[in-house]
Amino acid sequence: MTLLILVSSLQYTLKWQDCGFYEICLGILPPPVENLKSRCCWIFFIKQMQKGVRLYVEAIKVIMTIPIQTTLICQVTTILVHYIINNRNIYRFCSYAGGTPRTTKTIGIVCGTVGGGLFMVCFAFFVWHKRKRRKQARESSELMRSGSSMQSYSKDLELGGSPHIFTFEELEVATDGFSASRELGDGGFGTVYKGKLQDGRVVAVKRLYKNNYKRVEQFLNEVDILSRLLHQNLVILYGCTSRISRDLLLVYEFIPNGTVADHLHGSRSADRGLTWPIRMNIAIETAEALAYLHAVEIIHRDVKTTNILLDNSFHVKVADFGLSRLFPLEVTHVSTVPQGTPGYVDPVYHQCYKLTDKSDVYSFGVVLVELISSKAAVDMSRSHSEINLANMALNRIQNHEVTQLVDLELGYDTDSETKRMIDRVAEVAFQCLQLERELRPSIKEVVEVLNCIRDGECPAKNMNKKASLKEDAHLLRDMQYSPDSVIHRFHSQSTNHSAASNASGL
């Protein structure tokens, strides 16, 4: 028999009957309470039922002890009623008032119910545990199919080496148990924590989201890509956990100065630390990193200011290669489901599912506009047609309204050299954002022109013939073509495209 007693105060109102004969109402606990706490049972004082009769109910077997002040449920297996009638001690067992005098049947029903409940709980736990094991086995098999083991990557490495394998436990210690105070940020694939290894190195540890069904693919992809690469403007991968780790973790060098997005329009923007010369260098170093990737047949596919990290000297470290793709030079495009960040995704890639190196060029064009404007790539507070910064830039540049686009605090109105460079960078961005991929420059050409702009060495033959820029002239003053219909190709010192009679290049 099971009794459930709800303890909410020193007052109790529970109805019992002695084999169906006597109704017993529980009253106030008798003092001293201290004595009750030291016992393995509760004793309840029963109010007087009839003259000359005092009743005590003793819970002989108690499963759990309950503080009197706490509202909890106590399970009691046996209730004994002690009658004192005319100084004679009479003991009888009691059953719950909701039951029946047929105590055997009552006990059977209760035991059956409790047993059935326990069986269901055990069965549910068994099913959950089996599914969890199956999921872990599936993830492990995916890892084995994709790379067999982390050491197998070393066969394909070009410039890098096989990544170091960390244990989950040492990274857990390094991040203080993945403490919230250690969080550096989170993104589409996982949360990044600051950690300190036993050898003293400060690192960034990315913990991939467990609810991301592509996390294994992205994990392997990033390890594979970064293990191949070695460039001063790409983040360094120190290592990762193995395929059998309880969590998939990636360990990078720690870049202390935040992201470009933080400095432009985020948590560090109030510092105004990104002067125009620094922004110009950021543009060049980012373009050089992308040019290196494209040279080794890799498309980043998620170029954005939150993936461009800065060290204490404001040098660039491009990060986050979870979406990157190997791109054989002999093919014109790769057909794949569009992935990336809204505001940066190439419209042609989004519409036609065709990924090329020009998709990175489009995203980099958005980054250039952010650098000259300090505006976010997507801002819902802007007018409907200008929520996307790319649309705003094309509109402003086309209508000779660059002044309304650029961040005037950079010195656009006060320094002629700064104005010259910003105007030229706006032209480069305009070319990168063309809807027709054939009209976009290669990232290699972009690097060359950006260096020319910084050094002031761009030859006159590369200037727009119909819209020649003077120091105080509006950008693209005589441009007659919309961004959708510009037909000229991009000119650089390393290429010699033949242009149409009305075409012009940077």
Q: 3-state DSSP call for residue 420?
A: helix
92 vs 395: CA distance, rounded Å: 93
39 vs 322: CA distance, rounded Å: 62
Q: Kind of pairing, strands 237-241 and 164-166?
A: parallel
Is residue 348 within 8 A of residue 435, CB to CB? The reply is yes
Catalytic one among 18, 302, 357, 360? 302
Peptide linkage before 256 cis (omega within 30 of 0) = no
Neighbours of 231 (CB within 10 A): 17
104 vs 96: CA distance, rounded Å: 13
57 vs 26: CA distance, rounded Å: 8
338 vs 352: CA distance, rounded Å: 9
H-helix or E-strand spanning residue 201: none
**Among positive and negative, which fits the CA dihedral 372, 376, 382, 387?**
positive
469 vs 456: CA distance, rounded Å: 14
Is residue 205 within 8 A of residue 177, CB to CB? The reply is no
393 vs 375: CA distance, rounded Å: 11
Q: 3-state DSSP call for residue 221?
A: helix
Is residue 433 within 8 A of residue 388, CB to CB? The reply is no
Quick one: 257 exposed, middle or buried, by C-beta within 10 A (0-12, 13-18, 19+)? Answer: middle
Sequence-distant contacts of 106-111: CB under 8 A, at least 24 apart: 106/1, 107/1, 110/1, 110/2
Nearest to 147 by CA among 163, 170, 132: 163
Q: How many CA atoms lie within 13 A of 353 on its CB side?
A: 3
130 is in an annotated binding site: no
426 vs 441: CA distance, rounded Å: 14
402 vs 205: CA distance, rounded Å: 41
What are the CA-CA distances from residue 114 to residues 49, 107, 406 (Å)?
A: 33, 10, 72
**Is 302 in the active site?**
yes
The residues facing 61 across adjacent strands are 78
> Residue 132 is encoded by which pair of tokens?
């969890």
Which residues contribute to the annotated binding site for ATP?
206
Task: Tell me the binding residues.
Answer: 206
Active site (catalytic) residues = 302
